[in-house]
């Protein structure tokens, strides 16, 4: 009775049929039609496999059905079933049970195998995201001798584009030409889209031109090439192509969906250009062609108007939309958030929740980003928790916004948790192998992590992530967040060093406005816009960096020239400094300000060209500012020009710009000239004016923290050891040729007392403490609030010959690196 039924209704019946058939001599007298019906009823891979095996053993997949004796009663309809039909029935049964591998193996044994089943397998792999498997199936299709058709090729081209794999795509292009599909518009449109997705706009354009020349182009062809130009940041070309498309394809057959795609394709070009008039023109076009009520067009218009800065138009379109989906709400929330109207964005978000509109990842991310950008980090983290609780899964953009919130709060623990979440949920790569699909977002997350750890002052973690990114993959944001972290919260010298690396070849990266802002901040921290190379006496390196900046595309401005002139001034590069000063207006159109004149005056005066410096002061096109007179006064101190120093001080007094530094300079100039009465007069003037001289103070970092010293300081617990060591060092360097420069002991006392005063200077005490508390080989870093004493400078130069340390002194003017008996300033400061 079983075989008289047109259907087998249960898996039990399948097993019963097989067992009965086996007992009855299966394969000799069973109709292929019964197997075909049975295959349709299989509900498991195992059941299909058993039927398949019986078909193989019976020979029904190899021999013509006419050679078989059929003894069972026939079914109501008894068509002829070839081995090919049974074979494809097996393939269909395996596919119905979800076993693509078994289906593929069965299909390879069907001769000839129909292209339709290969197409189905390829499409299933693409649908599941197994793009490489889809391409592999197409290769096996060719090996099996099945010729791809006009449905096969677009599917494979789609897989190549989404991978993306240019190599596979261009191979398929050759196959298309060899098989006569170059005139099939369906295949050629897919070819244009593939090349665009693979980043080959040139090839995409060539294929489109060939389509147009053959006259087979349609609206899909034009949509594909317009989308290609939009994707490759050619918005003007995309708009031009769209205009041509409107004129050319209006006579060709189109449908509403094609028109909708055309409009949705072109609007991102308007958004990138902030082309509000063109957006309104396209909006009008949509209304005339009846496509505006479409939700996709409405959503695209809302987003584009928002990006063009016209929230009024965006809201108007949003309110006119009869049907809204979650994307519509996302577009308006994101628009408000990006325009800075966070209150409106939050209000829309609240309305969505009141109306039970399920927020997706885009909605949540827009709100989180809005809070983070507003500086409301805690609120952003709260919304993120709600997002996770709702079951919505974050994407890379969400993580970036959350990390920004953590950075603004300095929330190190939450930042680490977010980092861990990203790794666990594969929103961040573990191997740091950049260069493939999705790497742009991966790099963005890495950049956000560097920023977060830097702002939480965990520089070891930030630098570790930075260093893990291959140099050729670092973009301007990668460099800027690391440089900015050092400049704001870390060591400004590290920021400047990293900036130098950024501009170095190979893989030099041009700085942007934010990078320059960070560097200026670092320079300001080091001392009033004076950069780490000029201050360290490495003028040549500073000028090399300046040249590299220009080669990298950075146009020097007034600040850049100020830095360069300072470097020249402190590195004895008089001619080069003057050349740069002359080139400012001549070659770059940058007008010199008072600060630039001050640098050049300082450069000339330091080199002993006092008269030339004075002439420049007199020839300045603007009134000399206080910084100019201070520069001249400082130079007079170096070259003992009392008369000009007095003139400069009087100018500062007239400008009410005198301070303890100015009076100290003139007092020291009088002392060097042994004009003790004038020294006393200046000190009385300061006392009567209420101006107090800042006492010289030096700081040094030791094992137990930072220690500070004033001149003659004996308050430290290690003072006996400090003075004893200092005396031994001075005795030893005297034997090497050191002679105390008593002119720096600016008191009217005898030479022996001057020697004693010199030995008690704060920087010498700091050095002795550093030597007592610093491990051998480690640098000793000393900071002084005033200009380093000339005698101390001389003593440090000698001492650096006999100690196993680099001595780094930062004074109010610059850095001095003492090593092996040489200072980086070249005794020119």
Task: Tell me the DSSP string of 785-818.
Answer: SSPPPHHHHHHHHHHTTTSSS-EEEE-SS-EEEE
Rounded to a whole number, what is the largest CA-CA distance in the chain? 138
pLDDT at position 533, please?
A: 45
Where are the alpha helices (H) located in 308-430, listed in sequence order?
Answer: 311-320, 326-338, 342-354, 361-374, 377-390, 396-409, 412-424
Q: At what angle do helices 131-143 and 100-108 cross, to 10 degrees?
A: 10
Mean pLDDT of 222-250: 88
The Cα–Cα gap between 662 and 648 comes to: 9
Cβ proximity of 97 and 42 under 8 Å: yes
CA distances from 41 to 6, 8, 24, 61, 102 (A): 11, 6, 22, 19, 17
Tell if the pTM clears 0.85, that is, is over it: no
pLDDT digits (tens, 9 = 90+) for 160-212: 999 999 999 999 999 999 888 989 999 999 999 999 999 899 999 999 999 99
Q: Please give the average per-residue pLDDT across 789-803, as a whole number.
A: 90
Separation between Cα atoms, residue 38 and residue 18, nearest integer Å: 10
Pair type for strands 822-823 and 780-784: unpaired
Of the candidates 389, 355, 382, 356, the residue with the CA atom closest to the CA atom of residue 367: 382
- Residue in 655, 782, 639, 762 with CA at minimum distance from that of residue 706: 782
At residue 248, the pLDDT reads 75
At 536 the pLDDT is 53
Q: pLDDT higher for 777 or 419? A: 419
66 band by pLDDT with thresholds 50, 70 and 90: very low
Please report which confidence band the pLDDT of residue 556 belongs to, taking 50, 70 and 90 as the band edges: confident
Task: Give, as one character, the DSSP assignment of residue 743.
Answer: G
Structure confidence at residue 259 as a pLDDT band (50, 70, 90): confident
Joined together, the tokens standing for residue 727 give 């005396």
Q: How far apart are alpha carbons 122 and 373 in whole angstroms?
A: 45
Residue 811 predicted with pLDDT over 90: no
What is the distance between the terminal CA atoms of the chain, rounded to a whole angstrom?
Answer: 111
Query: What pLDDT shows up at residue 431?
Result: 63
Which band of pLDDT confidence, cut at 50, 70 and 90, is reported for residue 4?
Answer: very low
Average pLDDT over residues 269-282: 93
Q: How many angstroms separate the CA atoms of 741 and 275, rounded?
A: 71
The CA distances from residue 426 to 385, 420, 436, in Å, are 19, 10, 15
Q: Is the pLDDT of residue 527 over 60?
A: no
| Distance, CA of 821 to CA of 761 (rounded, Å) | 20
What is the C-alpha separation between 377 and 355, in angstroms, rounded? 27
pLDDT for 17: 52
pLDDT score for 501 = 87
Q: What is the DSSP letter of 66?
A: G
Once rounded to an integer, what is the mean pLDDT over residues 336-343?
83
665-704: per-residue pLDDT in tens? 788 788 777 788 888 888 887 777 776 777 778 888 776 6
- Tell me the average pLDDT across 275-293: 88
> Where in the chain are all domains bearing CATH 1.25.40?
455-689
Which residues are CB-neighbours of 412 under 8 A, at least 6 positions away?
406, 453, 456, 458
Per-residue model confidence (pLDDT) at position 29 = 52
C-beta of residue 682 within 8 angstroms of C-beta of residue 649: no
Q: Is the pLDDT of residue 158 over 70?
A: yes
Structure tokens at 615: 């002439």
CB distance 60 to 83 below 8 Å? yes
Residue 487's φ and ψ, nearest 5 degrees, are: -65, -40
Alpha-carbon Rg for the chain in angstroms:
40
Residue 148: half-sphere exposure toward Cβ, Cα within 13 Å = 29
- 439-465: pLDDT as tens digits: 788 899 999 999 999 988 899 999 999
- How sure is the predictor about 788, in pLDDT bands with cuts at 50, 70 and 90? confident
The mean of the pLDDT values for the chain is 82
Paired tokens of 526: 């080091």
What's the helix, strand, coil split of the chain in %, to 5?
Answer: 65, 5, 30
Pick the CATH number of 455-689 from 1.25.40, 3.40.50, 2.60.40, 1.20.1050: 1.25.40
**What average pLDDT does the segment 93-101 reach?**
89
Instruction: Report the pLDDT value the prediction gives residue 790, as an integer from 0 to 100.
Output: 82
The pLDDT assigned to 385 comes to 93
Q: Which tens digit of pLDDT belongs to each residue from 484-516?
A: 898 877 777 788 889 888 888 788 888 876 787
pLDDT category at 314 given cuts 50, 70, 90 is: very high
pLDDT classification of 568: cutoffs 50, 70, 90: confident
Q: Is the pLDDT of residue 407 over 80?
A: yes
d(CA 609, CA 488): 39
Asked if residue 459 lies in contact with residue 490, where contact means CB atoms within 8 angstroms, the answer is yes
Q: How far apart are CA 39 and CA 8, in angstroms?
A: 9
């Amino acid at each position: 009775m079983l075989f008289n039924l047109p259907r087998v209704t249960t898996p039990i019946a399948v097993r019963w049929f097989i067992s009965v058939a086996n007992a009855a001599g299966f394969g000799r007298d069973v109709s292929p039609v019964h197997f075909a019906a049975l295959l349709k009823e299989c509900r498991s891979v195992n059941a299909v496999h058993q039927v398949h095996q019986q078909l193989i053993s019976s020979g029904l997949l190899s021999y013509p059905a006419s050679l078989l004796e059929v003894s069972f009663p026939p079914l109501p309809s008894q068509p002829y079933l070839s081995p090919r039909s049974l074979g494809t029935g097996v393939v269909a049964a395996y596919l119905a049970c979800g076993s693509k591998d078994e289906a593929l193996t069965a299909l390879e044994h069907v001769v000839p195998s129909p292209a339709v089943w290969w197409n189905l397998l390829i499409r299933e792999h693409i649908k599941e995201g197994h793009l490489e498997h889809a391409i592999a199936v197409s290769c096996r299709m060719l090996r099996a001798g099945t010729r791809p058709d006009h449905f096969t090729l677009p599917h494979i081209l789609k897989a190549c584009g989404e991978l993306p794999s240019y190599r596979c795509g261009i191979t398929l292009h050759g196959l298309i030409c060899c098989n006569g599909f170059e005139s099939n518009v369906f295949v050629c449109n897919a070819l244009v889209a593939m090349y665009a997705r693979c980043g080959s706009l040139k090839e995409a354009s060539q294929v489109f031109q060939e389509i147009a020349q053959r006259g087979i182009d349609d609206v899909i062809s034009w949509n594909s090439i317009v989308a290609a130009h939009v994707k490759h940041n050619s918005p003007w070309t995309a708009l031009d192509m769209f205009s041509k498309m409107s004129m050319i394809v209006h006579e060709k057959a189109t449908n509403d969906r094609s028109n909708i795609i055309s409009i949705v394709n072109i609007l991102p070009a308007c958004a990138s250009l902030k082309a509000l008039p063109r957006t309104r023109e396209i909006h009008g076009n949509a209304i005339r062609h009846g496509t505006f009520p479409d939700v996709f067009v409405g959503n695209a218009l809302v987003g584009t108007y928002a990006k063009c800065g016209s929230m009024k138009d965006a809201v108007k379109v949003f309110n006119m939309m009869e049907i809204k989906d979650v994307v519509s709400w996302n577009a308006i929330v994101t628009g408000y958030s990006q325009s800075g109207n966070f209150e409106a964005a939050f209000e829309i978000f609240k309305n969505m929740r009141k109306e039970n509109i399920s927020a997706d990842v885009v909605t949540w991310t827009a709100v989180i980003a809005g809070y983070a950008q507003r500086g409301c980090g805690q609120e952003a983290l709260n919304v993120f928790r709600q997002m996770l609780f709702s079951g919505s899964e974050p994407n890379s953009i969400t993580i970036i916004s959350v990390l920004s919130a953590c950075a603004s709060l300095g929330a190190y623990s939450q930042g680490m948790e977010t980092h861990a979440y990203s790794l666990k949920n594969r929103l961040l790569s573990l191997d740091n192998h950049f260069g493939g699909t999705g790497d742009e977002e991966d790099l963005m997350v890495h950049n956000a992590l560097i920023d977060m750890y830097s702002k939480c002052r965990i520089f070891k973690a930030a630098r570790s992530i930075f260093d893990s990114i291959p140099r050729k993959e670092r973009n301007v944001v990668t460099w800027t967040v690391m440089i900015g972290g050092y400049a704001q919260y870390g060591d400004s010298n590290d920021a400047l060093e990293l900036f130098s690396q950024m501009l170095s070849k190979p893989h030099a990266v041009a700085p942007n406005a934010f990078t320059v802002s960070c560097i200026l901040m670092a320079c300001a921290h080091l001392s009033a816009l004076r950069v780490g190379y000029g201050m360290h006496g490495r003028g040549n390196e500073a000028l090399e960096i300046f040249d590299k900046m220009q080669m990298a595309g950075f146009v020097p401005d007034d600040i850049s020239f100020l830095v360069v002139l300072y470097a020249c001034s402190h590195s004895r590069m008089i001619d080069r400094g003057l050349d740069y000063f002359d080139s400012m207006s001549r070659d770059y159109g940058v007008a010199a300000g008072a600060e630039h004149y001050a640098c050049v005056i300082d450069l000339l005066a330091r080199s002993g060209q006092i008269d030339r410096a004075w002439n420049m002061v007199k020839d300045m096109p603007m009134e000399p500012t206080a910084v100019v007179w201070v520069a001249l006064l400082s130079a007079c101190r170096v070259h003992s020009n009392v008369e000009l120093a007095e003139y400069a001080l009087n100018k500062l007094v007239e400008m009410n710009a005198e301070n303890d530094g100015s009076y100290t300079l003139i007092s020291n100039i009088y002392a060097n000239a042994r004009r003790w009465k004038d020294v006393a007069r200046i000190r009385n003037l300061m006392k009567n004016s209420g101006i107090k001289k800042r006492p010289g103070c030096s700081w040094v970092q030791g094992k137990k923290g930072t220690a500070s010293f004033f001149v003659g300081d004996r308050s430290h617990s290690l003072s006996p050891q400090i003075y004893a060591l200092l005396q031994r060092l001075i005795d030893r360097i005297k034997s090497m040729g050191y002679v105390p420069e008593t002119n720096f002991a600016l008191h009217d006392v005898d030479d022996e007392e001057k020697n004693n005063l010199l030995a008690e200077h704060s920087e010498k005490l700091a050095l002795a403490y550093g030597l007592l508390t610093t491990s051998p080989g480690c640098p000793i870093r000393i900071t002084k609030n005033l200009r380093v004493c000339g005698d101390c400078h001389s003593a440090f130069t000698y001492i650096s010959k006999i100690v196993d340390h680099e001595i780094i002194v930062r004074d109010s003017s610059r850095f001095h690196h003492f090593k092996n008996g040489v200072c980086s300033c070249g005794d020119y400061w």
